[in-house]
Structure 1
Amino acid sequence: MRPLDPLARPNRYDLLAGAVALALLGGFLLASREALGPYTPTPISLDPRHLPEYALRTAFRMGVALLLSTLFTLVYAPLAAKTRLEPFLIAVLDILQSVPILGFLAASVAALSGLFPGKALGFELAAIFAVFTSQAWNMAFSFYQSLKTLPRELEEAARLYRLTPPQRFLRLELPYALPGLVWNAMMSMSGGWFFVVASEAISVGKTEVDLPGVGSYLARALAQGNMEALAYALLAMLLTILLYDQLLFRPLVAWSERFKYEERPGEATARSWVLDLLRRSRATRRLGEWLAEALLERALRFHPPRALGLPPWLGPALLTALGLLGLEAAAKLLLPLGPGEWLRAIALGFFTFLRVMGILLLATAVWVPVGILLGLRPRVAVRVQALLQFLAAFPANLLYPFAAYLLLRYRLSMEVFSAFLMALGTQWYILFNVTAGATALPADLLEAARAYRLSGVRLWRRLLLPGVFPYLVTGLVTASGGTWNASIVAEVVQWGPHRLEATGLGAYITRATEAGDERRLLLGIVVMSLMVVTLNRLLWRRLYRWAEERFRF
């Protein structure tokens, strides 16, 4: 490893890069200073002067959650894709994805607040963990799918050059997966925004905690029916999303383009003023090269422990043991409810299931063609990227009060329109994944299609739809889990004194949470988890295997 050059002469871009770094560091310290102190309940003020501080606190929590989700993805997905523990780890991921956000929040608030009694850190960690659970599963599934559908010619190159497992991962698999992973990171951030209200305005049984943030500000505005405060919250979210776009996601998208599997002639490239600034800054560039070389050198020296070569029966045995322990704990709470309550919860889950499947079919029909057309037209995709990111990151539950007004005014059925409210925050999983799949289509296949004059239905049936199918399955898996979660906030809509409910499992879980009914809350979580896991096992997992075997270039 080369030593860091101490004689690198700074230039004017170093000063700008240093100023940006200091501003980010100052914001980090300012946002985290109260997290380590004692917890003192402070009423959330709707005075817009407090919104900059609230927005900073929310941005900090979501940034930490995204960092944790990225680390989780880089460790978990390779273990699931490349070891004998794959069936066990994928089953665990299915279960984790199926658990509603409120289930994680209910468990984490009690555990973390007890771990740090009297400290704000416990509630802060609970909020971060809730956002993490809305981000991590999508990213893990995306990375897993990229590792399982690595092009065969890249695998041949790895064998030809006799790459070790760490070399194969760092020089081949991770670069190949980076463009899609960045797009899914943006989508995961959007999922975090969808549940920002629940993660900051914590209401679990008798526990009522309002953490300073845009989410708790929004919850207070909705409770009071304050339209002016609602508009201020929307503006604060817009500015926060734009800052994330400019300072994080746009540089990552522009940087990840260097790892595209194939370059297409005349393809437009994404640009970022932050990335240009870092590239022109001598000190920053040299520091980055030194750190990258140091990390790469250490990573290439790492050899996975032999313990990863565990017998194939160990994963199912561990899953069975954990399942039995969970069943024993759950039985103590659920058995007193009786079979009638179980049947009621299952019946409500069937209504939510119909909404979920209907929305997935409708979103697939609408967004698959749009995603393919965007992926085949990179210039257009680059221009609309910021708009798509804002629409995806926009908290759809902010529109629910307006939806409640329209439903009341025109006497529309909540049973039907709650499904469309569920789709507002989850349809983007399909669009983002399909766009990434169309962007990754091999250029030689597109040239061959033009040479053989494939067009219209034949082009879509023989190339475009099969080419994006593995990415579509990933989008459907994550959209399915997100839609089930969205039912918790979409089947119950409130604006001021007016409350509308749809018949479904999401409304059942919401009522149990508000009432502090632990038995029915756990029952709703168990039924929803069982339905999602069953759907994953019977449908999505089979589609995954089919895509891996038949639609792999």
Structure 2
Amino acid sequence: MGILDLMVALGYSLARMLVAYIISVLLALLVGSAMARNKLIEAVTLPILDILQSIPILGFFPVVLVFFVGNLPKPFGLEASAVFLIITSLVWNMIFGVYASIKSLDPSIFDMAHVYSFGPASKFFYIYTPASKSALLANTLVSWAGGWFFLTSAEVISLGEEEYKLRGIGTFILESFNSGDFTSFYMGIGGLILTILLTYIILWNPAIVSLWNLPLLSIKIVYEKLSLIVSMLWNFIKEVFIFIEKKVTVPKVFSKAIGLFFAVFIFYYLLKGFTGLLSLDIYDVALNFARELPISLFHVFLVLIFSFLLSLGISYATYKSREMGYIFTLSGELLASIPAIIWWPLLAQIALASSLGPYLVSLIVLLQGAAWYLFFNIIIFGLSNIRREHEELAQVYKIKGWYFVRTIFLPSIFPAVASGLLSAWGGAWNATVVAEYVVLSGRTFDMGGVGALLNRYTVEGKTTEVALTALLLSLVIVIINKMVWSRIFSRISSGYTGE
């Protein structure tokens, strides 16, 4: 494979990422604002999103194969499948960011909108979008990394004998390694790293720095030009929709008809899935799931402890030294973005060296899927909570070292730690599908766990078993979120405010 193949593969992957990101932003604005402003939509959508964000990427493969690949022309269906799978790695925290931003707005804003007869389009463009900008940008750092992290899983869609490989950098790197072309393999990794770094330095970091004074390396000139173009395009779309809103009255019957269409559409596919479950030995799947669940729980809690200690140390070093902050944040952006499955060939020598090697690499992959959620939450939201007067008092009374960490640093950042741990918890579960099972150099490494079980069902082509296992996992995660994490989050947020 040559340089041209590498450039084309990078171009395909980057294009899929950008399309998925744009769609994710629009979905986040539409769904998040609807949830925040309509109690019925909020009541119905919140639990559904809670389940969907907990489903690992393999759990969406049956949907992709049935809906996109099965019903659309092959090339378009495959590309739509890849974009859809990337969206499932990007969109959830963006939706919740928009939802929280609009939910926290002063009610008087909506009273004024009612006085001035704002319609849906006017509210969307003049209230919802500006209010959500900060949340969308803050979540972009981890969302963009999450998309790259699962990129390979989106470009290689396989279920039993059905396998579809799309041209892209993930496929390029894996095929180079499997064919023994290590020159192309390392060229692919180098090209991927360079592309990821450039997207952060040119696109996302300047946007974040424009809102928060964070230690992020950025080049502003390209961002400023692109920002101007995007603003002009957005303003044009805004004017079109507001013009339509003023000139065209949409009957309520029409909007209800659209809602009914989507309800019937969803019900049809749910019924189709339920019919598949009737022919399945549910007891057998549930038993296999129950056997593997404790293994994954151990893996996830272990990686959460490592993530907490690692993020705490790096965040404190970032707080003490802005120069170190540049290095750590850029390294974090890069490491968090490297596709999960690529860590296995990259660390193949470790994995093949001893019986403990695969478990060590598995831990590294899980850390990549979890730790950076916590780190970026602390960097963006936590460090900004450390109040200037507390720092000045610490200087006056010469409070340093561990005493400073215990009395000022930790209490100030703990609300961000709470939300970061919750995100890292979800990230770790999603990472289990690529950390607990892999085929490397003709050898299969199976570390056990729900992620490994999903992979085994996928290899065997058991579509319904994959869907049911993913659903069971999602329900367990949601139950633990409600019973454990929500209480921990509430206690930490109220008990550690840095006051």
TM category, shorter: 0.7 to 0.9
1:347/1:189 CA distance change after superposition, 3 Å = same
Question: 1:366-391 CA deviation, whole Å, 9 max, x = no partner?
Answer: 20342254256555434554333222
2:64 pairs with one of 85, 91, 108: 108
Secondary structure of 1:411's aligned partner: coil
Secondary structure of 1:209's aligned partner: strand
- The separation in 2 between residues aligned to 1:98 and 1:358, in whole angstroms, is 19
Aligned position for 1:13: none
User: Aligned AA for 1:218?
Assistant: I
User: Aligned AA for 1:278?
Assistant: K
Aligned position for 1:388: 332
User: Aligned AA for 1:115?
Assistant: N
For the pair 1:475 / 2:431, whether they are aligned, the reply is no
**Once the 2 structures are TM-superposed, how far is the Cα of residue 60 of structure 1 from its aligned partner?**
0.3
User: Aligned AA for 1:522?
Assistant: A
Give the TM-score taking structure 1 as reference length.
Answer: 0.73
Aligned pairs for 1:40-439 (under 5 A) are 46-84=1-39, 85-117=41-73, 119-145=74-100, 155=106, 164=113, 178-179=133-134, 181-255=136-210, 257=211, 260=212, 271-275=218-222, 278=225, 326=270, 329-330=273-274, 332-333=276-277, 336-337=280-281, 339-374=283-318, 378=322, 380-382=324-326, 384-412=328-356, 414=358, 418-439=362-383
- The separation in 2 between residues aligned to 1:377 and 1:175, in whole angstroms, is 33
**Once the 2 structures are TM-superposed, how far is the Cα of residue 435 of structure 1 from its aligned partner?**
0.6
1:277/1:130 CA distance change after superposition, 3 Å = closer
For the pair 1:488 / 2:444, whether they are aligned, the reply is no
Bigger mean CA deviation after superposition, 430-439 or 244-253: 244-253
- The separation in 2 between residues aligned to 1:407 and 1:288, in whole angstroms, is 45
**Once the 2 structures are TM-superposed, how far is the Cα of residue 161 of structure 1 from its aligned partner?**
12
User: Aligned AA for 2:334?
Assistant: F
Whether the aligned pair in 1 keeps the contact of 2:276 and 2:464 (CA below 8 Å) is no
1:101/1:396 CA distance change after superposition, 3 Å = closer
User: Aligned AA for 1:227?
Assistant: F
**Once the 2 structures are TM-superposed, how far is the Cα of residue 481 of structure 1 from its aligned partner?**
2.0
Whether the aligned pair in 2 keeps the contact of 1:200 and 1:215 (CA below 8 Å) is yes
What residue ranges of structure 2 are gaps of 5+ in the alignment?
253-261
Secondary structure of 2:385's aligned partner: coil
1:170/1:385 CA distance change after superposition, 3 Å = farther
1:504 pairs with one of 440, 449, 467: 449
**Once the 2 structures are TM-superposed, how far is the Cα of residue 540 of structure 1 from its aligned partner?**
2.5
User: Aligned AA for 1:238?
Assistant: I
Give the TM-score taking structure 2 as reference length.
Answer: 0.81
Whether the aligned pair in 2 keeps the contact of 1:142 and 1:474 (CA below 8 Å) is no
- The separation in 2 between residues aligned to 1:470 and 1:195, in whole angstroms, is 28
Secondary structure of 2:163's aligned partner: strand
- The separation in 2 between residues aligned to 1:507 and 1:274, in whole angstroms, is 46
Aligned pairs for 1:452-463 (under 5 A) are 453=397, 455-457=400-402, 459-463=404-408
Secondary structure of 1:426's aligned partner: helix
1:64/1:277 CA distance change after superposition, 3 Å = closer
Aligned position for 1:513: 458
Whether the aligned pair in 2 keeps the contact of 1:95 and 1:529 (CA below 8 Å) is yes
Whether the aligned pair in 1 keeps the contact of 2:53 and 2:92 (CA below 8 Å) is yes
Whether the aligned pair in 2 keeps the contact of 1:183 and 1:436 (CA below 8 Å) is yes
Question: 1:480-530 CA deviation, whole Å, 9 max, x = no partner?
Answer: 222112111111133222221111111111111111122432332122222
What residue ranges of structure 1 are gaps of 5+ in the alignment?
1-45, 308-317
1:542/1:222 CA distance change after superposition, 3 Å = farther
Aligned position for 2:467: 522
- The separation in 2 between residues aligned to 1:550 and 1:366, in whole angstroms, is 23
User: Aligned AA for 1:391?
Assistant: L
1:143/1:444 CA distance change after superposition, 3 Å = farther
Whether the aligned pair in 2 keeps the contact of 1:145 and 1:470 (CA below 8 Å) is no
- The separation in 2 between residues aligned to 1:352 and 1:430, in whole angstroms, is 20
Whether the aligned pair in 2 keeps the contact of 1:469 and 1:551 (CA below 8 Å) is yes
**Once the 2 structures are TM-superposed, how far is the Cα of residue 277 of structure 1 from its aligned partner?**
5.8
Secondary structure of 2:202's aligned partner: helix
Bigger mean CA deviation after superposition, 53-62 or 341-350: 341-350
Whether the aligned pair in 2 keeps the contact of 1:356 and 1:484 (CA below 8 Å) is yes
- The separation in 2 between residues aligned to 1:89 and 1:276, in whole angstroms, is 35
What RMSD over aligned residues (CA atoms) do the two structures have, in Å? 4.0
**Once the 2 structures are TM-superposed, how far is the Cα of residue 182 of structure 1 from its aligned partner?**
2.3
Structure 1 or 2: larger helix share? 2
**Once the 2 structures are TM-superposed, how far is the Cα of residue 136 of structure 1 from its aligned partner?**
0.8
**Once the 2 structures are TM-superposed, how far is the Cα of residue 48 of structure 1 from its aligned partner?**
4.1
Whether the aligned pair in 2 keeps the contact of 1:254 and 1:272 (CA below 8 Å) is no
**Once the 2 structures are TM-superposed, how far is the Cα of residue 436 of structure 1 from its aligned partner?**
0.6
User: Aligned AA for 1:191?
Assistant: G
Question: 1:19-49 CA deviation, whole Å, 9 max, x = no partner?
Answer: xxxxxxxxxxxxxxxxxxxxxxxxxxx3443
Aligned position for 1:36: none
1:458/1:177 CA distance change after superposition, 3 Å = farther
Whether the aligned pair in 2 keeps the contact of 1:356 and 1:419 (CA below 8 Å) is no
**Once the 2 structures are TM-superposed, how far is the Cα of residue 541 of structure 1 from its aligned partner?**
2.8
Whether the aligned pair in 2 keeps the contact of 1:371 and 1:435 (CA below 8 Å) is yes
Secondary structure of 1:254's aligned partner: helix
- The separation in 1 between residues aligned to 2:123 and 2:496, in whole angstroms, is 23
Whether the aligned pair in 2 keeps the contact of 1:225 and 1:495 (CA below 8 Å) is no
